[in-house]
Chain A
Amino acid sequence: MPIMELDQSCPVLREYGSEQSLLSRPDGSSTFVQGDSSILAGVYGPAEVKVSKEIYDRATVEVLIQPKIGLPSVRERAREQCVREACEAALLLTLHPRSSLTLILQVICDDGSLLSCCLNAACMALMDAGLPMSYLFCGVTCAITKEEGQIITDPTARQEKESRALLTFAIDSVERNVLMSSTTGSFSVKELQQCIAISQKASEQIFQFYRDSVKRRYSKIK
């Protein structure tokens, strides 16, 4: 199957937007919108933790994903595990031993790239809550089409259905390393490396967006 030359100069992402501090009860909250996919995130912490769950030298991170319809199922549990791995890598957990950091994500609308939208909303909410982080992270999803093997970034739900493989990566902001990867479908090692390279390129746009939106938020306060 011939693999087309990839145009790596500018990965195409759907229009994205975000808002911080929109909920009054949680310590930090944010929404992240990617095209038609939208996630609302709330963070509580550092707060009290049950003795059975406490860890003596670092904080306990709990992630809950609520789907739009119905109760959380195994699919949400798998996504929670992915988001939790990315958060535990980025947060400085040793600064809050025997405390809990709870992150709750609510799916408002699902039109593809849901896991990367969750990761982006989670990072913005953690920043909003002022939790100590060693770096920021973002999520990028790539889909490999069935016919030509073309790599699409930030696929819609329809593009995801018509793809033969779906790969999501969490990328960190300092060294552009991969913090977490979640893949379904079959693909070659070369395609995997191409997807990682494209995701790292796309993450630069998202990190610039984080910087601009935090700058705008602080622009009112002097």
Chain B
Amino acid sequence: MDTVHTRFREKIGEVLLPGDLFSCSLPESEDGSVKSEKTICGPGLRRNGDEVHVFKSGILRHKHPNLYWIDSQQRRYVPAKGESVIGIVTAKSGDIFKVDVGGSEQASLSYLAFEGATKRNRPNVQVGDLVYGQFAIANKDMEPELVCIDSCGRANGMGVFGADGLLFKVSLGLVRRLLTPHSEIVKDLEKIFPFELVVGLNGRVWVKAKTVQQTLIVANLLETCENMTSQQRQTLFKKVSEGSL
């Protein structure tokens, strides 16, 4: 008898507010055959003894078998370990670069955290460059640290990028929609004209197309399709692809 799951299941897809709570006290069973299943609480949910509290407003989502989280709309990014973000290098001090990732603190990026970097072979990073990296350390008590290599030492697409192109900011919800495996928005956009796209989980998106005009069109389309239903979006894209130069 998993009371937590049944309570949660009733509310999947509903909007919850901070202060709502679910109690997970397991009922006593005579046989002792109470199977306590593990419930994983994702972002927006917090365990407090026997109870699970909601602390963000949003829609309750569920992933089989036992993962629950609150899907909320937010603009401000809070660094979390393992997330890939776009950062802007703001300072070079000794062995580390200071990178602005849009959080409450600037992240540090060591010069050795690039592919093929050694003490003699320093990477070519200047102040103002765009960097795509992953958080190696990101918690509320310490300064976040970025790296541009994965655990095997390969770059895997990370590092300095962005000669030309346009960097702009969108909400975190849109960024997560763009990064889903078969994102409809990206598929619809590909049909209009070819472009390069880098999406960071901190809400920053970098776009580069053949001409400046096409780049601006793609940037504007991405910013506007945040509040549209899929039908409205497809009509808009069709209009643009027919009228585009």
Contacts and interface: CB of A to CB of B under 8 A. Distances in A.
A173 B17 contact: yes
B55 A210 contact: no
A112 interface: no
Interface-centre pick from B21, B103, B105, B140 (highest chain A CB count, 10 A):
B140
B57 A129 contact: no
Interface string B73-99: 111101000000000000000000000
Contacts of A214: 15, 17, 57
Interface string A35-49: 000000000011111
Interface string B45-68: 010000001011111000000000
A221 B73 CA distance: 10
A48 B104 CA distance: 5
Interface residues of A, number: 34
Contacts of A50: none
A211 B74 CA distance: 18
B17 A218 contact: no
A136 B55 CA distance: 9
Contacts of A133: 18-19, 55-56
Interface stretch (A4-12, A67-75, A95-103): A95-103
A48 B227 CA distance: 29
Contact of A132 (B15, B56, B75): B56
A28 B46 CA distance: 22
B59 A97 contact: no
A219 B18 CA distance: 18
Contacts of B75: 27-28, 129-130
B141 interface: yes
B76 A45 contact: yes
Interface string A128-162: 01101111100000000000000000000000000
A174 interface: yes
A135 to B, nearest CB: 4
A82 interface: no
B215 interface: no
Contact of A98 (B21, B73, B76, B104): B104
Contacts of B21: 174
A99 B105 CA distance: 8
A215 interface: yes
Interface string B170-188: 0001000000000000000
Is chain B's interface secondary structure helix, strand, loop, or mixed overall? loop
B56 to A, nearest CB: 6
Interface string A164-201: 00000000111000000000000000000000000000
A63 B227 CA distance: 30
Given A96-B104, A98-B105, A135 B140 contact: no
B15 A215 contact: yes
A51 to B, nearest CB: 12
B74 A130 contact: yes
Given A174-B19, A210-B17, A218-B58, A46 B78 contact: yes
A127 interface: yes
A109 interface: no
A136 B76 CA distance: 20
B231 to A, nearest CB: 12
Contact of B59 (A96, A100, A218): A218
A98 B17 CA distance: 26
> Which 4 pairs across A and B sit closest by C-beta, in order of nearness?
A130-B74, A135-B19, A99-B104, A133-B18
Interface of A: 21, 27-28, 45-49, 90, 92, 95-100, 127, 129-130, 132-136, 172-174, 210-211, 214-215, 218, 220-221
Given A96-B78, A99-B105, A210-B17, 13 more contacts: A46-B104, A49-B104, A96-B104, A130-B73, A130-B74, A133-B56, A134-B18, A134-B55, A135-B18, A136-B19, A211-B15, A214-B57, A221-B173
